């Protein structure tokens, strides 16, 4: 199977991030909700249009499934052996709070599993990339690409906690394990915290969609970690389901 030009896809993610920053840093930034006229919606749509156009031009034979274009019926999708899975702007609450922790996510999914992913945090100038079986890296700006590797917990877990989505199920889960530290992170950067060894565990007991997790999933696995169902940690999280909502899951080193 011919592989796409992944360097070109990384460039697309960076371009989409720049399009988001034009809105984020613009003079009219004032947003509380994602209505049709908000800067958040404008940034989301601008990034979606750019990514969708560029991916289709780069790889015409590989379909694209994006949060902003997710109305492809399962009857059509179920025949896809591989496809691009895109969240053009992940971390809407982080965008609104202006803490910089929003991202552009692009994953390549093959046979229901993410095999490659890029996460670009444009406001932070950081890029994460991972290819399952070949490793991953992090890059600050245009600096060197530093290898990613998960870190096995020594004495208790460093647990990723969402800045915006606390749940009772999470509290119940944390009571059953030894938590040595908590790492508050927004958006798909939660996956990256595990992939780069800042955290050892990310339990997710809240709603997510496939495009929220595909790129981060690939990056974690490329760094030596795993993403499994919360109800059955022997079973990996799967993609291109009839229902694009994810079940609860656990990301671990």
Residues 217 and 126 in one domain: no
Q: Residue 37: is its pLDDT beyond 60? A: no
What's the mean pLDDT in 208-223?
98
CA distance 219 to 204: 17
Residues 66 and 41 in one domain: yes
pTM (global) more than 0.75? yes
Task: List the structure tokens of 166.
Answer: 């606390």
Mean pLDDT for all residues in the chain: 93
Residues 110 and 178 in one domain: no
pLDDT at 33: 54
Asked if residue 1 belongs to a domain, the reply is: no
CATH number at residue 143: 3.30.540.10
pLDDT at 36: 54
Q: Which domain holds residue 164?
A: 157-252
When divided into structural domains, the chain yields a total of 2
């Amino acid at each position: 199977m011919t592989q796409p030009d992944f360097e070109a896809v990384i460039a697309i993610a960076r371009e989409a991030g720049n399009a988001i920053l034009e809105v984020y840093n613009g003079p009219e930034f004032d947003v509380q909700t994602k209505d049709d006229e908000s800067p958040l919606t404008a940034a989301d749509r601008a990034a979606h249009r750019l990514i969708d156009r560029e991916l289709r031009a780069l790889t015409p034979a590989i379909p694209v499934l994006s949060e902003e274009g997710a109305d492809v019926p399962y009857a059509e999708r179920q025949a896809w052996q591989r496809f691009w899975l895109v969240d053009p702007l992940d971390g809407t609450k982080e965008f609104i709070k202006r803490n910089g922790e929003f991202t552009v996510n692009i994953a390549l999914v093959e046979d229901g599993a993410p095999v490659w992913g890029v996460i670009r945090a444009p406001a932070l100038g950081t890029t994460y990339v991972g290819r399952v079986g070949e490793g991953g890296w992090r890059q600050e700006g245009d600096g060197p690409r530093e290898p990613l590797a998960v870190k096995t917990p020594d004495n208790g877990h460093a647990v990723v906690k969402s800045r915006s989505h606390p749940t009772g199920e999470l509290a119940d889960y944390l009571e059953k394990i030894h938590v040595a530290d908590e790492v508050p992170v927004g958006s798909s950067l939660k996956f990256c915290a595990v992939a780069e060894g800042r955290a050892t565990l990310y339990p997710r007991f809240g709603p997510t969609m496939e495009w929220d997790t595909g790129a981060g999933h690939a990056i974690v696995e490329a760094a030596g970690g795993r993403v499994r169902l919360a109800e059955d940690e022997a079973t990996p999280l799967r993609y291109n389901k009839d229902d694009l909502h994810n079940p609860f899951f656990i990301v671990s080193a």
